[in-house]
Structure 1
Amino acid sequence: MKLTYFQGDPPNFGDELNATMWSHLLPAGFFDDDASKLFIGIGSIIQHGYPKDARKIVVGSGYGGYTIKPDVHDGSWDFHFVRGPQTTEALGLNPDLAIADSAILLRQTPLPAPATDIKIGFIPHYESIERGNWKVACDLAGISFIDPTDPPERIIQQILGAKLVITEAMHGAIVADALRTPWIAVRTMHHIHRFKWYDWVKSLDIDYQPAFLFPSNLRESWAVTTGRSGSGPRAKAACTSKLAQPLNNACHHMAARSLQKLAQMRPSLSTDANIERATDQAMSAIDGLIAKYGRKVAFA
């Protein structure tokens, strides 16, 4: 069975959890390079485009709307659980499969020591790293910048040590919630990323009211205004010129003040009962997965 997940450049925290988390939950030797069976875990990776003759084994993934809907009823898909009810509704699946994002299973793995140098952290979406200036805004606000392109262990340490996490990245919220760190959701800069948030929060019955965060520079302002990504060469050239610098500086300060205001808001956290229920259901699904596909070998 081949571990399958989105591998971006730069890497993205939520996706990269696949490379580290599953080794603690599945038997040694569970994964190999056999592409006839694809393990589809953390991420919005229930999508069109996988080989038709491959067995697609879904373990906590979600449909994010990034591709057309796949035909999940063609006999090549094996669903153990999915991220949430919007995925089951969109794809015509059994509603009982909607448990939670599989990153919730970090609760069942060894965790690193919490960072001791952080109180409030901000995690942007990984696309906002190249487009925005969030390190500058965080420094101005006196808030720790948590880089979603850093190694997963470092980010987990920071989330564990924080008293509060403000996050544009969905897996920043998912991991914070799983580890019981209060979090505040920021409305994603690009609308295409919003469907998956509603999918996840509905699985844990979380009251999701994402807050507006002032853009950190002109490129992000352009993205918010136009509904585009802000990553095109024309937007980049126009928004990073010397003439634009005074406005970019103003955006830095406005974004910093916006972060400070968000830090005073009431944070979100699923109930203990809901997180424990979902964790138990997800682990039961993992037990079923191992019984079906695992070899009887010792755990790593």
Structure 2
Amino acid sequence: MKLVFFRGKVPNFGDELNTYVWPEILPEGFLDEDESELFVGIGSIIGTHLPETSRKFVMGSGYAGYMGLPDVHDGTWDIRFVRGPKTAEKLKISPDLAICDSAILLRQMELAKPATGIDVAFMPHYESLERGPWDEACRLAGIKLIDATDPLEKVIAEIKGARVLITEAMHGAIVADALRTPWIGAKPIFAGHHMKWLDWSGALDIELRMHELKPSSVLEYYIGRTGRGGPAGKIGALSRSPLAAIPNAFLTHSAAKHLQKMATYEPQLSSDAKIGEVTEKAAAAVDGFVRSRLAVS
């Protein structure tokens, strides 16, 4: 059974969590490279891109509209649980299967000690790191940048050690909530990433408050205004050119001031009771799946 998850040209914290969580949670040797059976893990990985003939076992994954909507009732899908109620509704499966994103299983793992000396931190979506100078915006704001492309243990330790996390990256919020770090949701500049936040938060009964995030570059301004996501094209080239130096500097300073303002907002956390309940349900679903597989073998 092969683990499948999204992997782009740079590592992304939310997707790379698959390489950190599952080897720890699953028995040794449980996963292999046999593509006739797929272990569909953390992330918005449910879609028509997965091989039609493979048997697909879903463990807390989500559907976000990035790929085509599959028919999960065609006999090749075995859904143990999904990220949230929006995914369950899209897939037309029982709402009882909308447990949570399986990154919550970090709560059952022994993690590195929290990083020290962090007050407010900001975690941009990994794509935003390519589109705008968020390192400079955070420096100007006096806020710690958490880089979603950094090594997993470093990112987890920084999230765990922050007093409060402002995050445009959904898995920043998921992990912060799981580890009980208060978080402030920043609405992704690219609108295509919005729905999945409602999916995850719905599973935890969170009354989600998403706050506008100011663009830090000409390219991000364009993406926010048009809804088109991507660094290529004339606007991307313009944003990187000397002609954009003055507007980029203005936007970066504006983004920094807005981050300072966001740091004063009231952060969120799911209730201790709900996070405990959901963790137990996710762990039980994975354990039940493993037991069923071992019994067959």
**TM-score normalised by the shorter chain: which range applies?**
over 0.9
Determine if contact 2:192/2:227 at 8 Å carries over to the other structure: no
| SS of the residue 1:3 aligns to | strand
Distance 2:186 2:22 in 1: 28
| Equivalent position amino acid for 1:267 in 2 | P
Distance 1:131 1:65 in 2: 22
Q: C-alpha offsets along residues 188-241 of structure 1, whole Å, 9 cap, x if unaligned? A: 111111111110000001111210111111111111111111412311222222
Distance 2:152 2:220 in 1: 26
**1:245 corresponding residue in structure 2:** 245
Which range moves more in the overlay, 287-296 or 272-281? 287-296
After superposition, the CA RMSD in angstroms is: 1.3
| SS of the residue 1:261 aligns to | helix
Give 1:295 shift. Answer: 7.1
Give yes or no for the alignment of 1:273 onto 2:273: yes
**1:45 corresponding residue in structure 2:** 45
Structure 2: segments with no counterpart, 5+ residues: none
The two structures have a TM-score, normalised by structure 1, of: 0.97
Q: C-alpha offsets along residues 13-43 of structure 1, whole Å, 9 cap, x if unaligned? A: 0000000111221110000111111000100
| Equivalent position amino acid for 1:141 in 2 | A
Structure 1: segments with no counterpart, 5+ residues: none
**2:32 corresponding residue in structure 1:** 32
**1:291 corresponding residue in structure 2:** 291
**2:115 corresponding residue in structure 1:** 115
Aligned length: 297
**2:215 corresponding residue in structure 1:** 215
Which range moves more in the overlay, 161-170 or 187-196? 187-196
Give the alignment of 1:146-157 within 5 angstroms. Answer: 146-157=146-157
Are the structure 2 counterparts of residues 230 and 55 from structure 1 closer, same or farther at C-alpha, using a change threshold of 3 Å? closer
Determine if contact 1:30/1:295 at 8 Å carries over to the other structure: no
Determine if contact 2:64/2:196 at 8 Å carries over to the other structure: yes
Q: C-alpha offsets along residues 243-267 of structure 1, whole Å, 9 cap, x if unaligned? A: 2211111111111110000000000
Determine if contact 2:13/2:171 at 8 Å carries over to the other structure: yes
Determine if contact 2:123/2:145 at 8 Å carries over to the other structure: yes
| Equivalent position amino acid for 2:169 in 1 | A
Give 1:117 shift. Answer: 2.8
**2:262 corresponding residue in structure 1:** 262
**2:162 corresponding residue in structure 1:** 162
| Equivalent position amino acid for 2:180 in 1 | R
| Equivalent position amino acid for 1:228 in 2 | R
**2:137 corresponding residue in structure 1:** 137
| SS of the residue 1:156 aligns to | helix
| Equivalent position amino acid for 2:94 in 1 | N
Which range moves more in the overlay, 129-138 or 231-240? 231-240
Determine if contact 1:27/1:294 at 8 Å carries over to the other structure: no
Distance 2:296 2:112 in 1: 28
Which range moves more in the overlay, 117-126 or 266-275? 117-126
Determine if contact 1:27/1:295 at 8 Å carries over to the other structure: no
| Equivalent position amino acid for 2:185 in 1 | A
Distance 1:140 1:257 in 2: 8
| Equivalent position amino acid for 1:205 in 2 | D
Determine if contact 1:30/1:294 at 8 Å carries over to the other structure: no
| SS of the residue 2:238 aligns to | helix
**1:105 corresponding residue in structure 2:** 105
Distance 1:255 1:112 in 2: 32
Give 1:296 shift. Answer: 10
| Equivalent position amino acid for 1:211 in 2 | H
Are the structure 2 counterparts of residues 122 and 295 from structure 1 closer, same or farther at C-alpha, using a change threshold of 3 Å? farther
Distance 1:9 1:70 in 2: 25
Give yes or no for the alignment of 1:66 onto 2:54: no
Give yes or no for the alignment of 1:183 onto 2:183: yes
Higher relative contact order (CA closer than 8 Å, sequence separation 6+): 1
Moved over 2 A (4+): 294-297
| SS of the residue 1:206 aligns to | coil
The two structures have a TM-score, normalised by structure 2, of: 0.98
Determine if contact 1:220/1:230 at 8 Å carries over to the other structure: no
| Equivalent position amino acid for 1:99 in 2 | I
Determine if contact 2:217/2:247 at 8 Å carries over to the other structure: yes
